[in-house]
Amino acid sequence: MISYYFSLALITLVLALLISAFRILREYQRGVVFMLGRFYRVKGPGLIIIIPLIQTMVRVDIRTVVLDVPTQDVISRDNVSVRVNAVVYFRVLDAQKAIINVENFLEATSQLAQTTLRSVLGQHDLDEMLSSRDMLNKDIQSILDAQSDDWGIKVSNVEIKHVDLNESMIRAIAKQAESERERRAKVIHALGEQEAAEKLRDAARILAEQPQAIQLRYLQTLTEIAGEHSNTIVFPLPVELSQALGSVISKRE
């Protein structure tokens, strides 16, 4: 009777070991296999056979991971305190490195992203953070990709989501923008005055070179005055006549 139960237990153990030897990996999974604690090979996807008690396997997901970087307190190069968060897109290219070279590649990538975000943004002014996000995203992505290469990880993209400012800084930026608009308005007005003065100067030079043009302007002015409902008509005195009268008076004196 005892031998019967022993045989039954032995058969059950053998069946359990045989069942545990078969593993199924999905298309987006890879298995890092170790034999007696040493790296053996990377297997998958599909049906994988593992020798019980001798080999072990660690599953690795090779799909793109969306990592939300927690909000970081950053001091910009012009000494402005801001709160910035971002999102990092990465995937495992080498499952062997991701398991052997780092203890937890997800946590390691998260910590690296946080420190890199603070380091890169701290080298730029606030205006660059607000207006040059594409450049900053590429800088952060290239640094993360280079430093995580030993972990078998490829960082494909980094996006800065929010740059939060305190209320006093928001009011200061609004005041600065208003001052900039006023400055542009004054510059445009000054350019208009300069252009108008140049046109008047050109017109005066043309009238000086063509005396008959002045007479035509006299006639046009008289026509405009006559068309108005006014009891007073002003006749312009030609410059030549005033000069002639001035010379006659000076001779008599």
Residues 75 and 115 placed together within one structural domain of the fold: yes
**Does residue 85 lie in a domain region?**
yes
Q: How far, in Å, CA of 230 to CA of 84, rounded?
A: 71
Helices (H), 25-104: 95-100
Residues in the chain: 253
Per-residue pLDDT, 177: 67
CATH number, domain containing residue 102: 3.30.479.30
Distances (CA, A) of 205 to 117, 199, 201, 208, 236: 64, 10, 6, 5, 20
Residues 18 and 73 placed together within one structural domain of the fold: no
Q: How far, in Å, CA of 26 to CA of 47, rounded?
A: 9
Residues 89 and 143 placed together within one structural domain of the fold: yes
- pLDDT single digits (tens) 166-191: 776 666 666 666 777 788 888 888 88
Amino acid 72 reads Q
Per-residue pLDDT, 193: 85
Residues 29 and 99 placed together within one structural domain of the fold: no
Residues 87 and 35 placed together within one structural domain of the fold: no
Q: Give the SS3 label for residue 134.
A: helix
> Which of residues 132 and 219 earns the better pLDDT score?
132
9: confidence class by pLDDT, cuts 50, 70, 90: confident
Residues 69 and 143 placed together within one structural domain of the fold: yes
Residues 56 and 93 placed together within one structural domain of the fold: no
Q: How far, in Å, CA of 161 to CA of 133, rounded?
A: 9
- pLDDT single digits (tens) 16-53: 777 778 889 999 999 999 999 999 999 989 999 998 88
Residues 153 and 70 placed together within one structural domain of the fold: yes
**Residue 52 sits in which domain range?**
12-61
Query: How many distinct structural domains can be found in the chain?
Result: 2
- pLDDT single digits (tens) 55-97: 999 999 999 999 999 999 998 888 888 999 999 999 999 999 9
Q: Give the SS3 label for residue 7.
A: helix
Q: How far, in Å, CA of 138 to CA of 141, rounded?
A: 5
- Give CA 217 to chain center in angstroms: 59
Residues 53 and 71 placed together within one structural domain of the fold: no
Last residue of a domain, one of 165, 185, 216: 165
